[in-house]
Amino acid sequence: MKNILIASTSTLANEDYLDYLLPELKLHFQNCTTILFIPYARPGGISHEEYTAKVGLAFTKINKKVIGIHEFEEEALAIKNAEGIFTGGGNTFVLVSQLHKNNIMGILSDVIKNGTPYLGTSAGSNICGLTMQTTNDMPIVYPSSFQTLGVIPFNLNPHYLDPDPNSNHMGETRETRIKEFHAYNSLPVLGLREGSWLDVKGDKITLKGNLTARLFKQNNSPEELETGSDLSFLK
């Protein structure tokens, strides 16, 4: 049975890394001693070692040990043997490129679908959808495929931002970008605001956090979904 937490962000304003999620993570990873961390998204271009150390510091607060996947000679075997898995944020293009390059996208998908507890934040959440095409990130590398894990039956837009009526910004809004996606694709897209996450248990997908999420469907007006909503109807 799938057991997944899909969070828009790792960090809220004026809080330490993962702090707002720690009560959830303590339950989510309660049967895990060690968490396998996938640092490929490399926020700000930091090294895998630096990123893993940052994550490890956060997980010490709930008495979990973190090991980076880059420390293993056989990454596929590390995924198959993992008690729990966390993929952090950064650049989705870099993350997806590396997962495909190392031939582990499919293996990661399989273990998640078979019940290994998984946490994704930001880019690590983006890859839970069917494709990465609704990411906010710059295409700084070119992945061999936009296909991602497909552990939920729709796409995500983490860090979703509402238009600011007081802003002088003249560029496209997130809503406009998602409409552009829907000119060519029929997949539903969920805009996850900061501090919101999806709790996936088997086939049930529940919106958690204090904020609504914005659902976009091709040829339909956007819809606000209240926290606690069951998103299992999205196919």
Q: Which is catalytic among the residues 97, 125, 137, 182? A: 137
Structure letter (DSSP) for residue 60 = G
* 95 SS3 class: helix
Asked if 200 and 3 count as a contact pair (C-beta separation under 8 A), the reply is yes
> Across-strand partners of 36?
67, 85
Q: Is 233 exposed, middle or buried (0-12, 13-18, 19+ CB in 10 A)?
A: exposed
Is 182 tagged catalytic?
no
Is 137 tagged catalytic?
yes
Q: Which is catalytic among the residues 122, 125, 182, 196? A: 122
- In whole angstroms, what is the distance from residue 136 CA to residue 152 CA? 19
Q: Which is catalytic among the residues 28, 70, 159, 182? A: 159
Asked if 127 and 120 count as a contact pair (C-beta separation under 8 A), the reply is yes
Rg (CA), the chain: 17
The residues annotated with a catalytic role in the active site are 122, 137, 159
